[in-house]
Amino acid sequence: MSNLQKNYGWLHTRPNSAKTLLERAKREVPGFSDHIRKFEEQITIKSYSESTVFSYSRSIAQISLYFKKSPLNLESDEINTYLYDLRMDKDLSDTYFKHAVYGLRFFYRVYDLEDRAIRLPNLKNNRKLPIVFSQGELRRLFKAPQRLKQRVLLCLVYSAGLRVSEVCKLKLNDIDFDRMQIHIRQSKNNKSRYVVLSEYVSKGLRQYIKGSKPKVFLFNGREKGSPLGHSAVQQTFRLAMQKAGIQKEACVHTLRHSFATHLLEQGVDIVTIMEQLGHAHIQTTMMYLHVAKIERSLVHSPFDKLYQQNAEAKA
């Protein structure tokens, strides 16, 4: 058992407890409120996504609570010990370690402490190939939820390749049933885009809207007039996975991976898929080439095609 497990079991709490961590740090760590306010202001100004702001802030709260002092007052040995424990804790994903390093690096640069930022470890970009659902698994998954709202929610994420943050923030007026498009507003890197609206999913959406009568946000949260929370989407997905009997190590984002892979397998070009996903770089989209099952054509010379069509026309 690591030191983190012994002393701070809250590191293993579910993502929706992150707000509690921030509130705890504001109460228990001297100066934390001022530091995190400045940190969040700067990271938001630079157009980082809402989820990134949340993850980095949580990481800063965690290390501050661990030592009961601001990261500004930490020695290099203390940071190294903390990161070592994070890395060695088998119950924590690599994402915790990554967010801790990136969060600290940004935090120190906010205070012009570049020398401290560059002393943090460099992270290797060991991107794993994404998990992808089969079509049979998707049919079972979408059939699993009892409530129409939950079925439509999961179907919409897959059918349009949405991020969790994107589906949560969707408003009624973002759905264009006439043009069969969905307007994604100011998503990752503060970019907006239009994505396809499935004909089948549009029928389910109409039925859901007629029954639930949402006013502003397409999917309401617990509080009136608030958007659906990330944790609610993740919980819906987990329960559907259990009921469908799917054993893959998947998350809601697996639906987005499946959207891209299946489009590629169905002959849609990589640039169009990139635009639908809202990727900033084509290299990010190209990872799906390693996952998709695409039949490769035999290599031939284009010269042979120059006269083949002529010969066929004369015949």
Look at residues 72, 68, 73 and name the one whose alpha carbon lies nearest to residue 8.
68
Beta bridge partner(s), residue 183:
194
- 269 residue type, one letter: D
Q: Please, are residues 143 and 102 in contact by the beta-carbon 8 Å criterion?
A: no
Take residue 96 and report the two structure tokens written for it: 């915790």
d(CA 17, CA 201): 32
DSSP state of 176: E
Q: Please, are residues 56 and 38 in contact by the beta-carbon 8 Å criterion?
A: no
| Burial environment of residue 171 by CB neighbours within 10 A (0 to 12, 13 to 18, 19 or more) | middle
Q: Please, are residues 233 and 252 in contact by the beta-carbon 8 Å criterion?
A: yes
Backbone angles phi, psi at 122, to 5 degrees: -75, 140
Catalytic residue numbers, as ranges: 163, 188, 253, 256, 279, 288
